[in-house]
Amino acid sequence: MRSHSSESGAALILLLGIVATLAILAGTAVFVLANQQSATAGVRAHDQSFNYAEAGLDSAVMAVRTTTWPAASASFSQATLTAAYDATYPSGSRPPLTIKVYDNQATVNEAITWDMGGPAAPSTPDGKLWVEASATYNGKTSRVRTLVGQVNSTGSLSLPAAAIYTDGNVAFTGGGGDAFGIKYPDPNSTTWVPDTDKNAAIYAGGNFTGNWSTDLAPSGGAATLQIRTNGTVYNPKLGINPAVAGSGGVPPLSTVLPQATIDTMTAQARQGTPTKANALGAVADSTLITQLQRTSPQTYNAATDLVVNGNLTLGGGESTFNFRSLYVTGNLTLNGNTHTNATALYVGGNFTISGPSGTSQFGPIYVGGAVNWGGALTVKTTDYTDSAKEPAAMYVGGNFTSAGGPFSHVFGPTYIQGSVTFSGNNAQILCPLLVSPGQITTSGSGGFGTVDEPMVLLGINDGTSATRAIQLSANAVFTGLVINMDGIVNLDNSGDGTFFIRGAVMSTGDVRFTNNGNVGYDPRALANLQLTAATTSTSVVPGTWQELSPN
């Protein structure tokens, strides 16, 4: 009996040991499983935060690639940077997202939110910005960034087939003004015919309002232009009465002429500054200045570049002055029957012409003040010593007025800071590009550009809230492209009876016909424009993606 009792006790002890061992093993298994579950949850939270951060980075990169970059001291809008992210994830489900865009300085400074410079030159923009996104999900934060870069290139400007393109209205408010399209059946001939195929159109962000003369044809017959508007179309001449809804779908002018292209054209026009004249030439003494300013006939041939400190007046009897570079710190005035030539001209003050006829060639012209030209003198920016050179650039810091006539001015790319007034009779202006932020007005008779050498007349925004009209009322023909990025275009005359504008008109404001002016879309003239368009390509810089420490 004792023997059995002893064996039972041993068995019990053994059983208890087994149970304890199993309990320990079970507890360990539970602990390990809990740790594994916790680790898995942490991994899942990190993965989720990483995915949200990547989605936020994609949203921000898309905005940086498609939005104009901020100017100095400015920054991207957070709403713009997170727009795609917010649209993808409902507001109640997405975790907090932080987006930062900052310059790629050698030492990170997140307060510099624009392209100020780069690692090598901290104050010279290099077209690169860091884009960073961080997201927190269930206590886990992920932070990623990549570098976005811009590459600028230029090429020929491609324009839509548009006789008129405006963000505003097209209105034929009076007279017999019209718009039409032409084409050239023979590419080797100058003979044109009405484009009854309607290859071109009138584009208006607002309304089109015609009258009983607006048949959209050069001399009656079938219409030669399409009409596309975001507003209404009214044209009783073509039986559209009352007004009907337009076609819609007219993009803003800024999509046709983006700011980068306007900036490129402006830079082309500003080639005349800084001056090409030599400020270190030989200084004219009082004896020479007295000789130059005498009123009796004379011929003067400069042997070296000349600097005149103060004003210079040339005139009197028939005289010829052949300067090299001429640098006048004050005003320059040409009177009488004076023929004046220079290889480069700088006028610190005003440049006035009254009286001379014939032709004067000045090379590149820089005028710090105003230009006021009258009489019948033809002014060219060509080089009188080298006829093979193209017309050079002209820069005017004040207002520009050209009156009198007849004359045939020939300029290279031209920029005029102030107002522009052409009022000459029997005047011909050849200038591939004239840009001004001031008021632009034409009157008188003559012509601007030709089909082979068309002109671009560009009015730009002067940075103020005021708008400025381009007022074209000359009894002349403007051949080329009229652009006003700062207001309306008024057309108020008949030109040569067929054309007033031979080319196209583009404007952020209304295009108004207040008399008998016609706009004839001429594809050949527009194809001959000497325009350069700027293209900016923005993309992620390869190899720059990084996952950063959450801290």
Per-residue pLDDT tens over the stretch 347-394: 999 999 987 778 899 999 999 999 999 888 899 999 999 999 999 999
The predicted structure's pLDDT at residue 1: 46
Q: What is the dihedral of CA 183, 187, 188, 193, to 10 degrees?
A: -20
Q: Considering only CA atoms, which of 326, 339, 334 is closest in space to residue 350?
A: 334
DSSP code of residue 484: E
Angle at 32 between CA 26 and CA 37, to 5 degrees: 125
Which residue is listed with tokens 């290139």? 153
Quickly state the pLDDT bin for 5 (edges 50, 70, 90): low
Q: Are residues 20 and 145 in the same domain?
A: yes
* Predicted TM-score (pTM) of this structure: 0.75
The predicted structure's pLDDT at residue 337: 83
Which of 437, 452, 476 terminates a domain? The answer is 476
Q: Are residues 490 and 467 in the same domain?
A: no
For 433, residues 6+ apart whose C-beta sits below 8 A from its C-beta are: 265, 268, 269, 413, 414, 455, 456, 458, 530, 531
Distance CA 345, CA 392 (A): 11
Residue spans of beta strands (DSSP E) within 126-172? 128-137, 140-156, 162-166, 170-172
Distance CA 277, CA 305 (A): 8
Q: Say whether pLDDT at 534 is over 90.
A: no
Quickly state the pLDDT bin for 307 (edges 50, 70, 90): very high
Q: Are residues 229 and 292 in the same domain?
A: no
Q: Are residues 101 and 216 in the same domain?
A: no
Q: Considering only CA atoms, which of 352, 355, 400 is closest in space to residue 375?
A: 355
Residue 177 is assigned to a structural domain of this protein? yes
Residue 550 is encoded by which pair of tokens?
């959450």
Residue 1 is assigned to a structural domain of this protein? no
Q: Are residues 400 and 493 in the same domain?
A: no
Q: Are residues 342 and 203 in the same domain?
A: no
For 356, residues 6+ apart whose C-beta sits below 8 A from its C-beta are: 315, 334, 335, 336, 337, 338, 339, 340, 375, 376, 377
- The domain containing residue 492 runs over which residues? 158-257+485-530
Q: Tell me whether residue 67 is exposed, middle or buried, using C-beta atoms within 10 angstroms of its C-beta: 0 to 12, 13 to 18, 19 or more.
A: middle
For 294, residues 6+ apart whose C-beta sits below 8 A from its C-beta are: 316
Q: Are residues 286 and 435 in the same domain?
A: yes
DSSP string, 398-460: S-EEE-SSSEEEE-SSEEESS-EEE--SSEEEE-SEEEESS-EEE-SEEEE--SSS-EEEEE-
Q: Are residues 489 and 450 in the same domain?
A: no
Residues of the chain above pLDDT 90, percent = 70
Distance CA 283, CA 236 (A): 69
Quickly state the pLDDT bin for 229 (edges 50, 70, 90): very high
pLDDT tens per residue, range 150-183:
887 777 778 999 999 999 999 998 777 899 999 9
Residue 262 is assigned to a structural domain of this protein? no
For 106, residues 6+ apart whose C-beta sits below 8 A from its C-beta are: 119, 122
Distance CA 396, CA 296 (A): 31
Residue 27 is assigned to a structural domain of this protein? yes
Q: Which residues pair with 136 in a beta bridge?
A: 141
Overall domain count for the chain: 3
Residues of the chain above pLDDT 70, percent = 92
Contact 180, 197 (CB under 8 A): no
Quickly state the pLDDT bin for 460 (edges 50, 70, 90): very high
Number of other CB atoms surrounding residue 415 within 10 Å:
24
- Residue 340 φ then ψ, to 5°: -125, 130
